[in-house]
Amino acid sequence: HLSGILSSKAERARSAMMNADMDAVEAENQVELEEKTRLINQVLELQHTLEDLSARVDAVKEENLKLKSENQVLGQYIENLMSASSVFQTTDTKSKRK
């Protein structure tokens, strides 16, 4: 009868240790899962930020091309005005002296 009691206590102790080990593994798995989830969310956030920055760069490039084109038109306009104005005409001083 005593050996049965000891055997039963040993089984309960072994079972308790196994349960504790399983709980520790489960807690570790939960921590790993939370860390993976956090990293995945961080990667997704960085991807969205990159997409936003890329779209912004494209918009700035478009605006830059538009402004360059407008500057060329304005430069040509100013050049035409200057060539039509007598104030900006070059004078030939040699022909005036003769």
Task: Please check the confidence at residue 1 and state whether its pLDDT lies above 60.
Answer: no
- CA–centroid distance for 51 within its chain: 6
**The whole model's pTM is what?**
0.53
Neighbouring residues of 88: CB distance < 8 A, sequence distance ≥ 6 = 82
Share of the chain above pLDDT 90, in %: 54
pLDDT per residue as tens digits for the range 25-73: 888 999 999 999 999 999 999 999 999 999 999 999 999 999 999 999 9
Confidence class for position 5, pLDDT limits 50, 70, 90:
low
Residue keyed to tokens 């306009």: 77
Task: Please check the confidence at residue 98 and state whether its pLDDT lies above 50.
Answer: no
User: Which pLDDT belongs to residue 40?
Assistant: 98
- More confident: 40 or 24: 40
d(CA 22, CA 18): 6
Share of the chain above pLDDT 70, in %: 82
